[in-house]
Amino acid sequence: AQKVTQAQTEISVVEKEDVTLDCVYETRDTTYYLFWYKQPPSGELVFLIRRNSFDEQNEISGRYSWNFQKSTSSFNFTITASQVVDSAVYFCALTDLGSSYKLIFGSGTRLLVRP
């Protein structure tokens, strides 16, 4: 069965610190897609990134970077120089490549960035 585990329930950092959010996944598919979403206090899930299973190149977008390692089934997310506006719940998700491509979400990591 497919599963996404985000072991860190809550992380608290001081502004400007770097922080890494962990994501470990399980799947028997050889092709799959991984995602990160941000859910700020307003509640709307905001798409951040999609990663294909056949592309292990790490990606950087501004202060955000993602480290995908198939060998350890991990897709970790790092925020560099965190800001108060980064405070949110972050979800890692895996696509089920059945007919629907539905998302399997982890339980989320709540990030609190203190000024």
* Interaction between residue 95 and another protein (CB under 8 A): yes
In the region spanning residues 70 to 89, those forming contacts with another protein, defined by CB under 8 A, are none
Instruction: Please choose, out of 20-28, 65-73, 79-87, 101-109, the segment that lies near another protein by the rule CB under 8 A.
Output: 101-109
Shortest CB 92 distance to another protein, Å:
9
* Interaction between residue 91 and another protein (CB under 8 A): yes
Residue 91's identity, in one-letter code, is F
Query: Comparing C-alpha atoms, which of 52, 23, 47, 25 is closest to residue 37?
Result: 47
CA 36 to each of CA 14, 40, 63, 73, 109: distance values in angstroms, whole numbers, following the listed order: 22, 13, 15, 15, 11
At 68, which helix (H) or strand (E)?
strand 64-69
Contacts with another protein, 11-50, as mask; x by CB under 8 A = ----------------------x-x-x----xxxxxx--x
CA 92 to each of CA 14, 48, 69, 112: distance values in angstroms, whole numbers, following the listed order: 23, 10, 14, 17
Residue numbers at the binding site for another protein (CB under 8 A)? 4, 33, 35, 37, 42-47, 50, 91, 93, 95, 98-108
